[in-house]
């Protein structure tokens, strides 16, 4: 069982970027948390981050054959990307959407969401814990072979 953890624009700056909103942990710290949890479930995790929409679409297409589940924080593309929406529609493995902050409690433009209608479930507002919870959910959702 293999999970892609795909992270969108500006998440490479976690730890430095608006820490009052996104916390002090870096994406590497979150990766380490996930890896530790993944060992418990005997799941492989691939941490991926890009600032480019097309790269995220490419990874979602790759996931069709190379992954059994996806954790996705599409960051700002959550609120804009029809391309990522369409790529998710073409994917029939479970995808859990994660946000560190709670976009519904922030700017009005963050209440538009192209991702949540096409994922299995969403977790928002719980910081890095959300990623770990998403992995726990996938461990239940992905059949062990």
Size of the site for ligand DQA (CB under 6 A): 10
| Cβ atoms of 114 and 81 closer than 8 Å | yes
| Cross-strand partners of 71 | 5, 96
User: Does 99 qualify as catalytic in the annotation?
Assistant: yes
Listed residue (86, 114, 89, 107) closest to 18, CA to CA: 107
User: Does 22 qualify as catalytic in the annotation?
Assistant: yes
Angle between helix 27-41 and helix 129-141 axes, rounded to 10 deg: 30
> Contacts with ligand DQA in 8-67 (CB under 6 A)?
10
Tell me if residue 64 falls in helix, strand or coil.
helix
Instruction: Give the shortest CB-104-to-ligand DQA separation in angstroms.
Output: 10
- For residues 47 and 35, what is the distance between their CA atoms, to the nearest angstrom? 9
If binding is defined by CB under 6 A, does position 120 make contact with ligand DQA?
no
If binding is defined by CB under 6 A, does position 110 make contact with ligand DQA?
yes
> Contacts with ligand DQA in 71-90 (CB under 6 A)?
73, 75-76, 78
> Which residues of this chain interact with ligand DQA, rule CB under 6 A?
10, 73, 75-76, 78, 99-101, 103, 110
Which residues are designated catalytic? 22, 99
């Amino acid at each position: 069982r293999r999970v892609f953890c795909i992270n969108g624009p500006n998440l490479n700056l976690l730890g430095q970027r608006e820490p009052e909103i996104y916390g002090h942990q870096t994406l590497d710290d979150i990766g380490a948390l996930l890896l530790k949890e993944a060992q418990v479930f005997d799941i492989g995790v691939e941490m991926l981050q890009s600032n480019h929409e097309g790269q995220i679409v490419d990874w979602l297409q790759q996931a069709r054959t190379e992954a059994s589940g996806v954790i996705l924080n599409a960051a700002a593309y959550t609120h804009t990307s029809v391309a990522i929406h369409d790529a998710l529609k073409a994917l029939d493995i479970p995808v859990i959407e994660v946000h560190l902050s709670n976009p519904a409690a922030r700017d009005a433009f963050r209440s538009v969401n192209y991702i949540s209608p096409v994922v299995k479930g969403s977790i928002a507002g719980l910081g890095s814990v959300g990623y770990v919870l998403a992995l726990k959910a996938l461990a239940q959702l992905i059949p062990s072979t």
